[in-house]
């Protein structure tokens, strides 16, 4: 079985205190001006003109400062972000409404174009139908004339076949107008 790791490799926090290399005393003061951890004797000698406090007091002050900063961030930044989120949401809604309006305009234009094209198609169909009827009327007239001539020719041919022996070809043609 493997040996378990000690919870605090450098010893417990209470056991491990750094010592001042100059005075061999525990470091328990923070020089605010130099932003250095020092012993009490250094504070009274080398740093006597500086602002200093105990580490626990400095830690408490810094914690309070951090809490104030966090509160300020929460109040100012989060509310600002909430406002921006609301603006973005409103912009999304506005963009959707604008897009829908543009789509409606586009559909209206398409409908107008389709109505015009339908009207053009109907006019062209009507004109083509009228032209077809006119051409067919003329062709039916020609057809009627041709059927009339066909009937006349058939009658002539039958008459000639029936009267072939009695009539001369020339006299028949003269009588019929041929």
Residues 9-26 pLDDT 10s: 555 555 667 888 988 989
Contact criterion met (CB below 8 Å) for 39 and 23: yes
Minimal CA–CA distance to 175: which of 158, 154, 162, 160? 160
Domain boundaries, the chain: 27-75, 76-149
Residues 6+ apart with CB under 8 A from 17: 26, 27, 28
Q: Which of 26, 48, 49 is nearest to 37 (CA)?
A: 26
Residues 147-164 have a mean pLDDT of 90
**Lowest-confidence range among 58-62, 78-82, 146-150, 151-155?**
78-82
Confidence at 163, pLDDT banded by 50, 70, 90: confident
Q: CA 171, CA 160: separation in Å to the nearest integer?
A: 11
- Name the maximum alpha-carbon separation found in the chain: 169
Phi, psi of 34 (to 5 degrees): -90, -15
Predicted TM-score (pTM) of the model is: 0.41
- Residue 27's closest CA among 41, 13, 9? 41
């Amino acid at each position: 079985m493997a040996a378990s790791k000690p919870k605090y490799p450098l010893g417990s926090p209470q056991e491990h205190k750094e010592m001042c290399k100059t005075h061999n005393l525990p470091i328990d003061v923070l020089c605010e001006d130099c932003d250095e951890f020092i012993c009490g004797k250094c504070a009274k000698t080398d740093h006597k003109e500086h602002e200093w406090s105990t580490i626990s007091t400095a830690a408490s002050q810094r914690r309070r400062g951090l809490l104030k900063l966090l509160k300020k961030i929460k109040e100012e930044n989060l509310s600002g972000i909430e406002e921006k989120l609301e603006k973005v949401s409103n912009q999304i809604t506005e963009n959707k409404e604008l897009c829908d309006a543009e789509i409606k305009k586009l559909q209206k234009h398409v409908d107008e174009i389709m109505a015009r094209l339908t009207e053009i198609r109907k006019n062209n169909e009507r004109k083509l139908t009228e032209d077809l009827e006119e051409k067919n009327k003329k062709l039916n007239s020609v057809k009627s004339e041709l059927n009339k001539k066909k009937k006349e020719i058939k009658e002539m041919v039958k008459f000639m076949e029936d009267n072939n022996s009695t009539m001369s070809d020339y006299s028949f043609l003269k009588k019929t107008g041929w």
